[in-house]
Amino acid sequence: MAVYVWQQELDPGFPLAVLEYELHGDGDPMHWHDHLEIALVLEGRGRFVIAGRRLPAEPGDAFFIDNSQPHVAHARPGSDMALLLVLFRPELIAGPGCREFDLGYLAAFRPADPGMSPCVPGDSPLSASIRPLLRELEAISARGERGEQQLADATLRQILALVNRDRGADAVGATGGTATTHRELIRPVLAYIDRHGREPISLEQVATVAHVSPSRIRHVFKEVTGVGFKEYVTQVRMTEAKRLLLSTELSVAEVAQTVSYTNVSQFYKVFDRSCAMSPAEYRRYYTPAAGEDGAPQVR
């Protein structure tokens, strides 16, 4: 599954956004981002895939997604799923030099036990407690009044505190432990791959970025993202190749070269494995005909 970086504009002075988002089938791609995310299922059913874990999604379920975890939500085929998303940067709650006490709030996203599910089931007492608060946070955010930012901050902290109390979490989950250390190690690596996805990228290069050995990166990368380093890079390149096929008039060979494939035959094999069709078939299938929605046919 392809991976990309979701860029969300957040106010540097108060990096929080609350929005409703509707999914149509399984069209959204795998992605990651720098902000933390709480996703509440409002309507519909589907699934979340978070760092390689597949989790069913039902109305009332709330997912707590750490930054640097590749993830995606999909509605059931042919149906829709509505989500309420709370997006915020970690420094809103616990900035550099903050108290250990404040860092403890982030244990909701970074539990000490890496096997703990990121989902709060919709039929649980905890979900019943945090759903009204998430809606209240949405209402506060919608008013957009600067004077209510403290109220928004307090409401978000209350949600996180309730999750931590229910799960017996504390600051250890946010500040210590192998899982958290590994996620922080991989964050600059994912950013580097996103910036240099069109170029040849080696394990040795990204190991230099993270200041560890290539063997260490190989192990930690798979642990954090759920996929191997080469597979991840391939997914990023296939995402870019698909974009180029639909938005430019480059030939397939030129697209292959642009995303660092010197062997066109190998590019065809990898693309077919990723999309279950050839690059030319992909272009024909997904490019609107001339005059349709005002878009020209790209060949």
Q: Which CATH class is domain 3-175?
A: mainly beta
Per-residue pLDDT tens digits for 280-291 = 998 988 876 533
Number of CB atoms found within 10 A of residue 248's CB: 12
Which residues of the chain are modeled with pLDDT < 70? 1-5, 68, 96-97, 169-181, 183, 288-299
Residue 286, pLDDT score: 81
Number of CB atoms found within 10 A of residue 116's CB: 14
Residue with tokens 């992909």: 282
- Specify the pairing of strand 62-65 against strand 36-43: antiparallel
Residue 100, pLDDT score: 78
229-247 vs 214-225: helix axis angle to the nearest 10?
70
Residue 225, pLDDT score: 74
Residue 172, pLDDT score: 43
Give the Cα separation of 141 and 153 in Å (integer).
Answer: 10
| Residue-by-residue DSSP string for 205-225 | HHHHHHTS-HHHHHHHHHHHH
- Residue 202 CA from chain centroid, whole number: 23
Asked whether this chain's domains 3-175 and 180-286 adopt the same fold, the reply is: no
Residue 180, pLDDT score: 58
Per-residue pLDDT tens digits for 47-90 = 999 877 899 999 999 999 988 678 899 999 889 999 999 999 88
Residue 171, pLDDT score: 41
Give the Cα separation of 202 and 233 in Å (integer).
Answer: 9
Cβ atoms of 187 and 68 within 8 Å: the answer is yes
Domain ranges of the chain: 3-175, 180-286
Q: Which CATH number describes the domain made up of 180-286?
A: 1.10.10.60
Give the Cα separation of 36 and 126 in Å (integer).
Answer: 20
Number of CB atoms found within 10 A of residue 176's CB: 14
DSSP 144: T
pTM, full prediction: 0.63
Residue 94, pLDDT score: 86
